[in-house]
Amino acid sequence: MSRISQKRVGQALFVTSVVAVALFFAVTALTTPSVSTETDSEFRTIVGVQGSPDGRVAVIDSSGDVLWEDRNATNYHDVTVLDNGNILTAFLVKEETECGRFESPCPRTGVRIIDPDTREVTWNYTFPVRSHLNSEVHDAEVLPSNEVVVADMEYERVFTVDRNGTITWQWNASSYYEAPADPTETDWLHINDVDHLGDGRFLVSVRNAHQLLIIERGEGVVDVINEDRDPSMLYYQHNPQWLGDGAVLVADSENDRIVELHENQSTGEWEAAWSVSSAGGVAFDWPRDADRLPNGNTLVTDSRNNRVVEVNESGGVVWSQRVAGMPYEADRLPVGEQVGAQRYGDNGAVSASTATPAAETSEPSNASIPMFSRAYAALTHVYVTPYWVTPWHLVVATVGLVGALVGAVLWWRG
């Protein structure tokens, strides 16, 4: 190849690669449906936003406008409005100096209660952790006794603490699962949710085991959902809601869907009765919360799409708003997530293409392009990407970059 033809090939390859990537990004940005919709209804929604540096608690109205927010932590996860109007939050802060057994500075995680009127922290319970990743308290709840029950990922336990900071009861996952020597050195089970069901019973999400446990105070584990750890039933789930005996609603995160599981009264096995994997033409991407609302709809926190969306039983969008920074959990005010709510799918029928029986659910979405899906997941943990960006954008960008580099070299050498 002559130097002139090599130079022309290089120029063409460079320009084609750059233009092709730009066009792909532009077309997908322009053609992807909006994640925000309007409604005539007036309501408020509280959202816990995980993303650093955008970690915050925000109360938004039905138009998506922020009515109130707090940014006094690195990350926020669970957020709950209490009966007196105060806000219970699970949070993490970095660069603390009181670190116990860990090297200073360190992160501290825990639970605080905020008075939204004065912004005063009226109660605070924290402890040091080894890392700001996979060590945070993700969930807590105030009990009728005024104790607070906490799901702790650092030591893989569920415990109750009184307002003086004294732990009054504790269940250690090592009493049921085979434990590593030091659970703080690895992301072992990732216990990320606990809900009080009444009578000393708790629903606990053990993310890395793909299981939900029912734990009874004084008895330990009394029931297991997904005992076989089948990833097609649950795969790195978050924030289950107990709908009533024999029914639970779950954000089935790595399967990119919301699923309702029912217990088969004949076999005792848990089975998927209803699921939804997209809303408004946008596929869910790592959803991490789903609440069945008093009006019968389902409120979904679609984390990597940076939105909170309300859907009906058919999967149709009732309301949707963008919430930047990777929202973790959302509650519709004033009631929040409740134990006991309307069930879907008792007859196994689903009426919309976006809502599918579990038998039709595909393999986990990251199975198709594992390397790029993992890179995409890592990217969205540290950077707020537009909701229309997918792992395929990384594929196209990588191919385009290689093409542009090769073209630039040929161009320069020609």
Decide: 57 and 50 in contact? Cβ < 8 Å: no
Q: Give the SS3 label for residue 109.
A: strand
Tens digit of pLDDT for each residue in 38-97? 888 899 999 999 986 679 999 999 999 999 999 999 999 999 999 999 999 999 999 999
Decide: 82 and 68 in contact? Cβ < 8 Å: no
* The predicted structure's pLDDT at residue 388: 83
* The predicted structure's pLDDT at residue 361: 37
- The H-or-E segment that residue 96 falls in is strand 87-96
Count of beta carbons in the 10 Å neighbourhood of residue 52 = 18
- Please list, in sequence order, all residues whose beta carbon lies within 8 angstroms of the beta carbon of residue 2, skipping any fewer than 6 positions away: none
Distance of CA 343 to the CA centre of its chain: 22
Q: In the structure encoding, which two tokens stand for residue 348, read together?
A: 């196994």
The whole-angstrom separation of Cα 113 and Cα 157 is 21
Q: What are phi and psi for residue 350, nearest 5 degrees?
A: -130, 140
The whole-angstrom separation of Cα 257 and Cα 288 is 9
246 to 249, 275, 311, 343, 346: CA distances (angstroms) = 11, 16, 23, 10, 11
Q: What are phi and psi for residue 264, nearest 5 degrees?
A: -70, 120
Beta bridge partners of 211: 206
Pairing between β-strand 121-128 and β-strand 139-142 as defined by DSSP bridges: unpaired
* The predicted structure's pLDDT at residue 389: 87
Residues of the chain with pLDDT under 50: 348-354, 356-367
Under DSSP, the state recorded for 71 is -
* The predicted structure's pLDDT at residue 413: 81
* The predicted structure's pLDDT at residue 385: 79
* The predicted structure's pLDDT at residue 33: 87
Nearest to 328 by CA among 138, 171, 65: 138
Axis-axis angle for helices 391-413, 3-31 (nearest 10): 160
Bond before 391 cis per omega within 30 degrees: no
* The predicted structure's pLDDT at residue 358: 38
Q: Which residue has the tokens 């069930």?
A: 343
Beta bridge partners of 258: 251, 276
* The predicted structure's pLDDT at residue 351: 37
